[in-house]
Structure 1
């Protein structure tokens, strides 16, 4: 059995990791640490979130750093404030027995002057988000000339979020680095391009296969009609009374709408989206971490870098367009060897899309029936009974009140007491689910055969073109041109969210989206086309104006 000592980790780090309960290295740690300890080799590590990547690069960094030198020698760049703080927390634990080692986190949304003071006190490792680091570089508040090691953590997420130019700027400003270490859950083309341009013959290590799902995650899905999606979500939550998870939506409007509805109905829930200030975001995340909130409703962009242990469920309110996004969503659960569930709410026309994701992540997706009202009540009832039996009565002077209780209930049978307790707890559920409808969409035998074979049973996808390239068979759609593309930092899911947020439109009005490097073409319901054009055309974006118009009118 391999040990950290056998990988070459020194005694002080071994002492700290042993106290943390680290005995056997994870696969990514076992493969990465011996390579990284050389300090001179570029490295690409592909592994799912929650597989121990921080220790894989953190332990070698702490061992390579020269403690006597009080200037930045290592730089770790990651996508979000939350991940930045989590990495620092882990490094602080690893370096418990290394005197004089200092790690500083720099990120947006908080006082830059405080961070500048921390840097000036003398640090060896800087953990940073791209935007704040560039701000510090331009203010000449951080000296990266003597940086030897650069770590890009969750590189695919940073590139998906539009940080490519920032990453290239940072790499250009660390000219004397001896090695670059890139860690990523997936390997999209953007990550490959960065590795080719800025790394020299990197050692590549893959734990599992690229894009494959964590084997500890059970992938499930429910088929319902589009207008029953919210009711299905609510029923799934009620059917899992011990749930602690994240519900992913496409847009911030959906996140806010679902959160407000569930809050009004008494659920411990809040939303995480781009309109929140950093203070509001910190408050929501604090409540979620200490489990004051049972569920977090989040957009993909807002949830970047969230690292919370113990998440039991990830719920896809709608399927994402990109497999990488699904992989990142599902990777929030099933961590550290624990079992997790990633479930998706789909309508019948989306089952084919789900099958495509299933093939790429190479994990089976299990179709489940949406629970009936009686199923929900039964599950809640058993959960309550277990809580009742497990209630801790050792703390509290309950014996003092026992005579009064016995006198009060002297003429009430045990059965009646139990009924009254159940009525107090379940009256709302019983009334709500008394005549609950069946939310399942029953597939025809032909649909079932087609979906199993991967055939697209959706006539709206069948298209023909004339000699000018215009599409037929889509008479209700209008094709729009927009001067935004992948060069602007978008990928399909983030671009979809951007245009929906800008226009306040629902996804249902959209058809096919074709993205190129400089431009994109969007199919949209004719009745909504003018609203989208008015919402986007002429608006500023990264120092220039968005141009959107009817693609056919361009000749």
Structure 2
């Protein structure tokens, strides 16, 4: 019998969550569900991200709500569009064996008309971000007089984002006799104030110590000079061939720059930040969930609410300004009881901040040296060997080719064949890391610490600035434009400098050596039936523009694959097509 049945969950719901792979309740679920099922207490639950809080409140809600009535009976408030959609999806999955269950996700960046239409058709559970919920309340389009349960999920994050007044207003439209369930990773004074103002003698449950990190996460840090940060970052990534990670940056600009530099260098990456529409955000998140992306470069705000399984690494390219944000970042890995690694790439001045984080999370960091070139090559070689062991052979399809393959290898020994296949991948990394320098900075070394951003190139003499008559109104992002130019001009992304995307046109820089090739190859290119024009920028913008950012002071041999496409970490070749960007979630605080 599934242990969830012993907690008081009906068989229809238990069967649904069993199909989803729920076998044993997490500590927060095991302790919270019986309390919430009683329906008699306000509730405060403190637990880290990734501990199963959605099921902890979602399963009791499905037990307590009367689905014969098509009126709002539960309101779930959460900080982000991503989390809003995730919670609504989970509730629908949990209730798939129940009749007449209507859950509506209400969030910004999507059609409010569609959301209003769903509400009018009848809804029992509303999952909402505060901003859009206020809009709907302001239109007098929803009646909360029958609401019996209000859930505040990730309450600390909502307050960090400036939603305090919105939450107060929304809660004031709900009945006084409702039950309020608050879930949070931390308990700052603002969250305590909400508990005091809107709850009566709440049942408080803390799973693990407040503010502590997940015990299944290993915390590591690397000390490098600022000029070597990007090169060290790439080397760390190469040292973990099977990485599926989220990389955190402090600003939107840094996020975009690193993602574009990675794509130029042949890595399978994309960015998530506040300048992206919901459609773009959804596009990137779909690619990430499908694992066609292996590195997601994100800001703190953009990444909150992301719930993706099996993230192996969280990399702090820049440490957060607020120490508590480190806990939220690292919580993106080691979810649902699995293990993960959180990495910080720092300079020697930031050692003190690492010690502060250690005190907050209650766990020590391990100092790790940036691996040398030989170590990276060895790791990549044996990753290839393991992939050979694990590859699935399609006997039916390959059988017809076996005789010719055997003839080709007839004069080679088994050892020679193995060496040659291994060298196909190994030689690339040997060349890339030939004479690779030591990137570890001695503690106390402050040389090269003047900037945490990419080093700016000092001369524009090597680049030609061009104009193209396509821009953001044609649904291009800078990543899309990079791919479009590379594919049609048949050049490597490394030959492209700064891309300055405008509304109906774009300026971009290319190396002088390929400028004529770019213009020549675009002479017959059309886009949606419109002729594409490439011209010298000249007087169109009144200047040549600013210098571009390069991927750090040392590029370690440049791009890992200089063709028109690039290789992902599994060795598969991918065409360098349009790089979908994803949108930012709804928030109030300016950043």
- Conserved in 2, the CA contact under 8 Å of 1:147 and 1:177? no
Q: Paired residues, what number? A: 454
- Conserved in 2, the CA contact under 8 Å of 1:145 and 1:176? no
Map of 1:101 onto structure 2: 101
Map of 1:266 onto structure 2: 266
- Conserved in 1, the CA contact under 8 Å of 2:161 and 2:589? no
Map of 2:248 onto structure 1: 248
| Equivalent-residue separation in structure 2 for 1:325 and 1:135 (angstroms) | 29
After TM superposition, list the pairs within 5 Å mapping 1:467-486 onto structure 2: none
After TM superposition, list the pairs within 5 Å mapping 1:214-233 onto structure 2: 214-233=214-233
| Equivalent-residue separation in structure 1 for 2:151 and 2:319 (angstroms) | 31
After TM superposition, list the pairs within 5 Å mapping 1:346-495 onto structure 2: 346-443=346-443
Deviations for 1:317-343, whole angstroms, at most 9, x for unmatched residues?
111122210000000000111110011
| Equivalent-residue separation in structure 2 for 1:395 and 1:39 (angstroms) | 58
Query: What SS does structure 1 have at the residue aligned with 2:267?
Result: coil
- Conserved in 2, the CA contact under 8 Å of 1:248 and 1:316? yes
Map of 2:169 onto structure 1: 169
| Equivalent-residue separation in structure 1 for 2:2 and 2:284 (angstroms) | 40
Map of 1:512 onto structure 2: none
Map of 1:33 onto structure 2: 33
Query: What SS does structure 1 have at the residue aligned with 2:335?
Result: coil
Quote the offset at 1:174 in angstroms: 1.1
TM superposition score normalised by structure 1 = 0.78
Quote the offset at 1:543 in angstroms: 13
Map of 2:294 onto structure 1: 294
Map of 1:75 onto structure 2: 75
Map of 2:567 onto structure 1: none
Deviations for 1:402-433, whole angstroms, at most 9, x for unmatched residues?
22122222333433333332333233321121
For structure 1, the residue ranges without an aligned partner over 5 or more in a row are 448-456, 461-505, 507-541, 547-555
CA RMSD of aligned residues (A): 2.5
Query: What SS does structure 2 have at the residue aligned with 1:393?
Result: coil
Deviations for 1:92-135, whole angstroms, at most 9, x for unmatched residues?
12212321221111111111111111111111111111111111
Report which stretch shifted further, 293-302 or 409-418: 409-418
- Conserved in 1, the CA contact under 8 Å of 2:225 and 2:347? yes
Give the structure, 1 or 2, with the largest relative contact order (CA under 8 Å, sep 6 or more): 2
Are 1:182 and 2:182 matched, yes or no?
yes
Quote the offset at 1:9 in angstroms: 2.5
| Equivalent-residue separation in structure 2 for 1:278 and 1:387 (angstroms) | 36
Deviations for 1:22-80, whole angstroms, at most 9, x for unmatched residues?
34322111221122122232111000111111111111111111122110000001111
TM superposition score normalised by structure 2 = 0.73
Quote the offset at 1:21 in angstroms: 3.7
Query: What SS does structure 1 have at the residue aligned with 2:89?
Result: helix
- Conserved in 2, the CA contact under 8 Å of 1:249 and 1:299? yes
Are 1:138 and 2:138 matched, yes or no?
yes
Quote the offset at 1:147 in angstroms: 1.1
After TM superposition, list the pairs within 5 Å mapping 1:45-84 onto structure 2: 45-84=45-84
Deviations for 1:218-259, whole angstroms, at most 9, x for unmatched residues?
111111112211111101100001000100000011101110
For structure 2, the residue ranges without an aligned partner over 5 or more in a row are 450-548, 550-587
| Equivalent-residue separation in structure 2 for 1:543 and 1:86 (angstroms) | 22
- Conserved in 1, the CA contact under 8 Å of 2:314 and 2:333? yes
Quote the offset at 1:169 in angstroms: 1.2
* 355 and 405 in structure 1: CA distance in 2 versus 1, 3 angstrom threshold: same
Deviations for 1:278-337, whole angstroms, at most 9, x for unmatched residues?
111110011000000001000001111111111000000111122210000000000111
- Conserved in 2, the CA contact under 8 Å of 1:146 and 1:176? no
- Conserved in 2, the CA contact under 8 Å of 1:148 and 1:176? no
Quote the offset at 1:396 in angstroms: 4.2
- Conserved in 1, the CA contact under 8 Å of 2:236 and 2:371? yes
